[in-house]
Chains A and B, each alone.
Chain A
């Protein structure tokens, strides 16, 4: 193999992958509005996203699987603990996690911000993301349901 051929391998390899990637990026932008229900992306939801970032929640928690692994994923947090569950944990983490081996900081989040956070988590929970995370999937049977389906008493 000559250096010239090697150069063409580099050029074609880079360009072909870049063209594919950028093409799919354009198409992703076209589809994301439907997949993420962008029509429900209200100012309150965006304010919730800003609050989520302001308090650096994402460096302890993951959301859509990304972020810190120190605390539970928040993608389906509304489905898991409910809106009031979120309010209580954010407002009084010192009480909610009093008996937990891991604590959550008391950041004095305002009432308005808490409501925006709830709206944000509600919106994120509805994103069509391939039914992830598996532990919150509605398609999966719970352990007791599995036992029942196997005929256990």
Chain B
């Protein structure tokens, strides 16, 4: 670490990790609701809906904080300068965390906007916007003052601006439910298959460049191609959410065709990552960081690419839409593409921020493989439940709860796997918060 203002990133990462643990605990509560009968008295006070709002908002909050922390870590190295205003970075962190805590407590008391994933009510929305604007201003000023432009930081800033702009589409109240979902997906889809992919591309490129010593020109060239393909397939690919909402029929064609192409940029990212490592110029001092990078690329491909493709064609989606198949895809994709990306950044940055160049990877490996195995199996068990649901409820026409009764076993297995996943997360978080230097192994 060269720049002192980068230290702020450590706070963003630590809080993000804490929220990640909370998110997983809330997930265990949610899956318990599928396995056990929760008494009416408990349901009246703390319904599934409230826990789900917490689970998903914790996800969004920890990922955004991780992206922001990652940006505050990367931008000084890319611009070769300190962050323009560390105080603003502090202010913004506090503002967002306070907003998040108020929102989560508010959910428990029924203060919600009632739109899935976008439950944060209007006054708090504006706090999020202020936090995002302060962040973008601070990062933008750092780049502007340094006058050193790179494709990586341009992509990062572009992705973050895009991300902030899209959030605005989710704020108004729409009278028409069809229009409401139309713009809801501008936030959710264009985040995860647009803006967040830009951020991912930039971060992966940065870390691969630093990790392997591959020439910047080569890394940035492929970054352009990747993000070009992500944008080309991802923007019009939003159409795969418009099949059954009451939008015109041409979305079946547009959504189907563009979505079918969506795995391509992810595949390119996998090939790109492998190529950079094969042609590396520098010795990889922390091989486990590279393992996470490879894991992220492969899991991204399976979760977002393969699982997404599996139910994105209208002919299939007619039966799988809004079933546990979506849950399977959602978990694998978010974990593979974004949770692992953030863990990659954490493992790249956090030991450095604590002055450790080479970290002892024992706990890191245990945590990583536990999380990845448990999540992969969770993807399969959710998937089996989803296929059962699609066949029993949608094809055979069984009642909703009758179909659910056949899925209960698989939800029970998912609960057990979720406990293992939490174990992996706790090991990883402990390791990241107190990383050990590799030399200790010799003592």
Contact = CB atoms under 8 A, between A and B. Distances in A.
A9 interface: yes
Interface string B17-58: 000000000000000011001111001100111101100000
B323 A69 contact: yes
A60 B238 contact: no
Given A103-B43, A105-B44, A67 B116 contact: yes
B229 interface: yes
B318 interface: yes
A35 B246 contact: yes
A104 to B, nearest CB: 7
Contacts of B110: 55-56
Interface in A96-150: 97, 100-107, 123-124, 127-130, 132-135, 140, 142-143
Scoring B53, B110, B115, B398 by chain A CB atoms within 10 A of each residue's CB, the highest score goes to: B115
B248 A100 contact: no
Given A55-B114, A130-B244, A135-B397, A69 B324 contact: yes
Contacts of B247: 28, 31-32, 35
B179 interface: yes
Contact of B245 (A10, A97, A129): A129
B40 to A, nearest CB: 5
Contacts of A25: 182
B228 interface: yes
A56 B112 contact: yes
B420 interface: no
A36 B238 contact: no
B153 to A, nearest CB: 15
A59 B54 CA distance: 10
Contact of B115 (A20, A58, A70): A58
Contacts of B40: 93-94, 97, 103, 106
A70 B236 contact: no
- Chain B facing A: main interface SS: helix
A13 B48 contact: no
B178 interface: yes
A88 interface: no
Interface size class of B (residues with CB under 8 A): 35 or more
A101 B236 CA distance: 41
B324 A70 contact: no
Nearest to A70: B48
Interface string A14-33: 10111011001101110110
Interface in A23-75: 24-25, 27-29, 31-32, 35-36, 38, 41, 46, 49-50, 52-60, 62-73
A65 B319 CA distance: 11
A109 B228 CA distance: 49
Contact of B235 (A14, A29, A106, A128): A14
A7 B223 CA distance: 9
Contacts of B182: 25, 28, 32
Contacts, number: 224
A49 B50 CA distance: 18
Contact of A52 (B114, B241, B318): B114
A13 B232 contact: yes
Contact of B248 (A28, A93, A102): A28
A72 B400 contact: yes
B232 A132 contact: no
A152 interface: no
B101 interface: no
Contact of A57 (B49, B238, B327): B49
A68 B52 CA distance: 8
Nearest to B400: A72
Nearest to B230: A13
Contacts of B241: 66
Nearest to A73: B322
A130 B243 contact: yes
Contact of A106 (B44, B180, B234): B44
Contact of A53 (B113, B236, B250): B113
Nearest to B237: A17
B394 interface: yes
Contacts of B48: 59-60, 68, 70-71
Given A17-B233, A56-B110, A3 B33 contact: no
A105 B43 contact: yes
Nearest to B49: A59
A59 B50 contact: yes
Given A14-B232, A58-B116, 7 more contacts: A10-B224, A17-B235, A28-B182, A56-B110, A59-B114, A70-B48, A134-B395
23 contacts: A3-B221, A6-B222, A9-B225, A14-B231, A16-B232, A20-B235, A28-B251, A32-B176, A32-B247, A35-B178, A36-B178, A55-B114, A58-B114, A64-B246, A65-B322, A68-B52, A73-B400, A94-B40, A103-B37, A106-B44, A129-B245, A130-B252, A133-B321
Interface of B: 33-34, 37-40, 43-44, 47-50, 52-53, 110, 112-116, 119, 173, 175-182, 184, 217, 220-222, 224-225, 227-229, 231-236, 238-239, 241-252, 254, 258, 318-319, 321-324, 326-327, 393-398, 400-401, 404-405
Interface of A: 1-3, 6-7, 9-14, 16-18, 20-21, 24-25, 27-29, 31-32, 35-36, 38, 41, 46, 49-50, 52-60, 62-73, 93-94, 97, 100-107, 123-124, 127-130, 132-135, 140, 142-143
Task: List 4 A-B pairs, minimum CB-CB distance, nearest first.
Answer: A53-B114, A65-B322, A59-B49, A10-B228
